Structure 1
């Protein structure tokens, strides 16, 4: 018999037995829909947590502890590593400060100086300052001195020499203001050369680029007290931390927070798959029992089909097709019910745009469809094996 004719025949019989067919579909929906909601919650919550961590560059930051001694070659080597997104030296913290003010205003604010360069994960789409006269200003510092992008600031670098205070001044242009969510302290983000100039001046060395007099610079390579270092991904934080530990260098990281989120994802996955396995076994058992009972109930009809020339394989396919119809309808109804549940859960529990309490991707629906169809076909085939023993003569005797 042609496959299309067999499919049509199986569908007509499936419709004729509507009550049992509906019960079978609802039984499958009772298994599939809760699993979709459970997995949607697991995937949505964990994905939102991981995306939140990935969007926050400070989570991927490694901060050297104690007084370090890092040369430029060491930091350049770090920058070349595939697991490093950004690395730049930092001068001594005590030397990396500046007093800022705006002409014609009395407010003076002491802020820290933070080195930056192209690729700085904190800057995102903000312009990178270039030269010794361009900086980015933090939001809190801008509020305190009343500065906006495009303003010129007076910058005073002070030092103590033989008990006397000395200072050098220069002008800095505010290229942009950093959002408060990016950096919440009083600071300027400046090229490393400006921080080196401030450190040289406070150490008594000359700064030719700014015409500041002093001693001649040492011919030895500069040694930096610290650095700004960011891993490329969340998974790269722990390997980088071990890299420093192997060299007896202490760093502060948020590896514990990252580990907790990744561990939560693994644990929820284990719980989900245990529940899913038990539910699928129950659904397969139901389909298996349904196929067995269908063969018994329709023995007369199946024997007539055998009398009309259908082979054992065609009879088995007849039973499997009806199970597939139930599976496909159950998946469609479950997906619709999950869609309603997803909208309700996200409306109730999500306040941040772009995050989800429950969420599934198109590929997840594809996996569910494949799993249900496969399980239905296998269970129906196992349950319908008794069609092989149907005698065509029974169709004539109407047994």
Structure 2
């Protein structure tokens, strides 16, 4: 009986490399067939990820795509806002006054003033801030269009003016505010001012006939503490969650408006590209399995005497199977390494030709390091599974075949 040789990994690796080099022409053909599958798949998935990611980034760059705007006026208690803010899908929620009471005039001087400016309450986490600090008491942030029409810069002073009829007299409530910052033009298109909720509530109390010390008006009774608000500013954390939050609002009998068409178009593109990638990828993977499996089986059949000789030398079935798996893994690693430069070249061509109309940060074909590692893991796993079938075939070769073959 032959003494069994332990399946030492180093010995098996040396034998696998030596055998592949001995049959280097066949090995080259197998590697080339795998490269022809891996490189196009990387490019295809890079296009899918790049196009969809670019569209998502463009949508996310405009925070209004994540906004849900409840229609009409309601009677929302404070605990409603606390409950919605606690939802993991909600990025930001803020009370709003009635729509008719959310406008005011801004004056810089007699030549620069702006009527009916939209007043928006803001705070920490507001998607409209675009990295700016939330306004404090006596401050506001202006949209780019409002700042341009008023010709003001950060640090300038303005007067916020609200008017009302009180006991047959015309009254003007006003307060001086500092421009703490100017929003990017992409954040908000209309003339608007982001301010504290207290100041917005003061403008509504003033119009409702109450005293408004923040606006310099002490006539009238003090407004009772706020326990309910008519509307809300509401933002989702991600695009797919916008429709989900809209359904939750509808379940509470609150109709809302959102930019559903833009979101749905991106999701539709993602689904179509996903289907295309899945079909082409499945066909390519089946081709790779057939190529690799056929090459391994053909090699095993050609080397029946060599496998039998290894059995006579004491290699057990596990060692034989491991040898086949190592060979397939080495071929897959080499093919993936050669496919990467081809992917990089194709990606550069796509980005140069198709990305001409994008900004400098835009791309149409891109894979992250995580994507490449996942692709490598899938390649090695697939090759190992195919090699297991070939290894099983090699283990069925008996040592006695070497004697019948003339050894």
Is TM (by shorter chain) over 0.5? Answer: yes
Q: Distance in 2 between matches of 1:61 and 1:54?
A: 11
Residue in structure 1 matched with residue 365 of structure 2 by the alignment: 358
The answer to whether structure 1 residue 232 and structure 2 residue 240 are counterparts is no
Residue in structure 2 matched with residue 370 of structure 1 by the alignment: 377
Q: Distance in 1 between matches of 2:89 and 2:324?
A: 55
Task: Please tell me whether the aligned partners of residues 300 and 395 of structure 1 are also in contact (alpha carbons under 8 angstroms).
Answer: no
**Structure 1 unaligned residues grouped into runs of 5+:** none
The alignment partner of 1:155 has SS state of strand
The alignment partner of 2:37 has SS state of helix
Task: Please tell me whether the aligned partners of residues 174 and 216 of structure 2 are also in contact (alpha carbons under 8 angstroms).
Answer: no
The count of aligned residue pairs is 397
Q: Distance in 1 between matches of 2:182 and 2:352?
A: 34
**Structure 2 unaligned residues grouped into runs of 5+:** none
- 1:75-112 per-residue CA deviation (whole Å, 9 max, x = no partner) reads 34433433322222222333322222223x42221122
The answer to whether structure 1 residue 49 and structure 2 residue 55 are counterparts is yes
Residue in structure 2 matched with residue 25 of structure 1 by the alignment: 31
The answer to whether structure 1 residue 208 and structure 2 residue 202 are counterparts is no
Residue in structure 1 matched with residue 288 of structure 2 by the alignment: 283
Residue in structure 1 matched with residue 158 of structure 2 by the alignment: 153
Worse-matched range after superposition: 181-190 or 275-284 = 275-284
Change (3 A) 1:28 1:91: same
- 1:160-211 per-residue CA deviation (whole Å, 9 max, x = no partner) reads 4688754233222111111111112112111122222222222332213443
Residue in structure 2 matched with residue 120 of structure 1 by the alignment: 126
Change (3 A) 1:248 1:334: same
Change (3 A) 1:335 1:194: same
Offset at residue 275 of structure 1 (A) = 2.6
Task: Please tell me whether the aligned partners of residues 174 and 215 of structure 2 are also in contact (alpha carbons under 8 angstroms).
Answer: no
Task: Please tell me whether the aligned partners of residues 75 and 87 of structure 1 are also in contact (alpha carbons under 8 angstroms).
Answer: yes
Worse-matched range after superposition: 319-328 or 71-80 = 71-80
Change (3 A) 1:34 1:75: same
Offset at residue 141 of structure 1 (A) = 1.4
Change (3 A) 1:212 1:396: same
Q: Within 5 A, what are the aligned runs for 1:1-399?
A: 1=5, 2-103=8-109, 105-110=110-115, 111-131=117-137, 133-160=138-165, 165-217=170-222, 219=224, 221=226, 223-350=228-355, 351-383=358-390, 385-386=393-394, 388-392=396-400, 394=402, 398=406
The alignment partner of 2:315 has SS state of coil
Offset at residue 393 of structure 1 (A) = 6.2
TM-score normalised to the size of structure 1? 0.88
Change (3 A) 1:208 1:107: closer
Offset at residue 317 of structure 1 (A) = 3.6
Q: Distance in 2 between matches of 1:16 and 1:353?
A: 49
Change (3 A) 1:155 1:286: closer
Task: Please tell me whether the aligned partners of residues 151 and 174 of structure 1 are also in contact (alpha carbons under 8 angstroms).
Answer: yes
Offset at residue 371 of structure 1 (A) = 2.6
Change (3 A) 1:310 1:185: same
TM-score normalised to the size of structure 2? 0.86
Q: Distance in 1 between matches of 2:405 and 2:41?
A: 47
Worse-matched range after superposition: 336-345 or 268-277 = 268-277
Change (3 A) 1:36 1:200: same
Computed over aligned residues only, the root mean square deviation of the Cα atoms, in angstroms, reads 2.8
The alignment partner of 1:147 has SS state of coil
